[in-house]
Amino acid sequence: MAFPDHKNTYRSEADKYELLISREDYQGKLIREIERIRVPDGLDIVDLGAGTGRLSVMLAPRAASLIALDIAPRMLQLANEKLMNLGVKKFLAAAGDHRALPLSNQIADLVVSGWSICYLADWFPASWKAELDIALLEFERIVRPGGTILLIETQGTGYSSPHPPPHLRDYFEYINRSGFTFSWIRTDYQFANLLEAISMTKYFFGEELAKIVAEKEWVILPECTGFWVKSLN
C-alpha cells in the first residue's frame, strides 16, 4: 500500500492533520495503555516528535513538567495553544531533532515518542540504522535511572490485528532487537460520516485504502497501534 509523502503534511498541513488525529482512538485506549506502562502522575516527561500535542495534552495535566519537541513550527504552535487552553503551566514547547536533543542529561522520568521516530527509517533509507542509533542514544541520555522510554507507532491501518506497513518492517524488527518490549492495542478512527472517512483516509493513507473505506462504508476505520518500552536502570 502506497502512502502519501508526509513531509509536506507536517510542514504545512498541521490543521488538517490535527483533524485527522482527533478522530483516532475514539474509545480512549491510548491513555489507559500508557498508564499501564507508566503512570504519568508527578513525572518529568519529554514528548519527542510531539506534533500537535496528541500525547502532550494527555500527559501534561498530570505531569510535574512536560517538554514537547518537534521540528515543525506550526505543529508546535498548535501543541502550545492546546496546552495553554488546558491551563497547563509547567510545560515548554520547542524545536528539537531526535538526533540532537537540546536538553540536559537525565532530566526525564518518562520519554515518549509517538508516530515520529519511524520517519528516520522512512526518510533516510540509506542510513536509517545509524540515524536511529543516534536518536536512541539521545533518548537514553536524557532519561534518569529508573526512567522509561516509550515509542508508539502504527501497526497497521485498516486491519483488525497487527499488519505493519511493509516499508517499516525492518525498522520494527530493529527496534524489537534493541532492548524494547512490545505490546499493541486497537485505536480505531471514528469519522463524522462516510464522506469525511474517505477524504481523510485518502489524505493521509492514500488512494488504495480510501477505496476500501468507500467500498466497505467504513465510518470506523480499524487501527492497530504498537508500544515499545525500555526501562533504564
pLDDT per position as a tens digit, 161-186: 999 999 999 999 999 999 999 999 99
Total count of residues recorded for the chain: 233
Right CATH for 6-191+222-231 from 3.20.20.70, 3.40.50.150, 3.50.50.60, 3.40.50.300 = 3.40.50.150
As a 3-state breakdown, the chain gives helix, strand, coil percent values, each rounded to 5, of 45, 25, 30
Q: Pull the grid cell for residue 121.
A: 527509517
The whole-angstrom separation of Cα 194 and Cα 180 is 38
Contact call for residues 146 and 233 (beta carbons, < 8 A): yes
Q: Give the whole-number percent of the chain exceeding pLDDT 70.
A: 99
Query: Coil, strand or helix: which one is 142?
Result: helix
Q: Pull the grid cell for residue 199.
A: 477524504
Confidence of residue 140 (pLDDT cuts 50, 70, 90): very high
Question: How many angstroms from the chain centroid is the CA of residue 152?
Answer: 5
Instruction: Give strand pairing partners of 92.
Output: 67
CA distances from 190 to 30, 42, 46, 136, 222 (A): 15, 32, 28, 33, 9
In this predicted structure, what is the pLDDT of residue 233? 84
**Domains of the chain: which residue ranges?**
6-191+222-231
The whole-angstrom separation of Cα 126 and Cα 131 is 10
22 CB contacts (<8 Å, ≥6 apart)?
Answer: none
Contact call for residues 20 and 200 (beta carbons, < 8 A): yes
- 222, pLDDT greater than 90: yes
Give the pLDDT confidence of 104-139 residue by residue, as tens digits: 999 999 999 999 999 999 999 999 999 999 999 999
Confidence of residue 31 (pLDDT cuts 50, 70, 90): very high
Question: 184: number of CA atoms within 13 Å, CB side?
Answer: 17
- What's the average model confidence in pLDDT over 134-153? 98
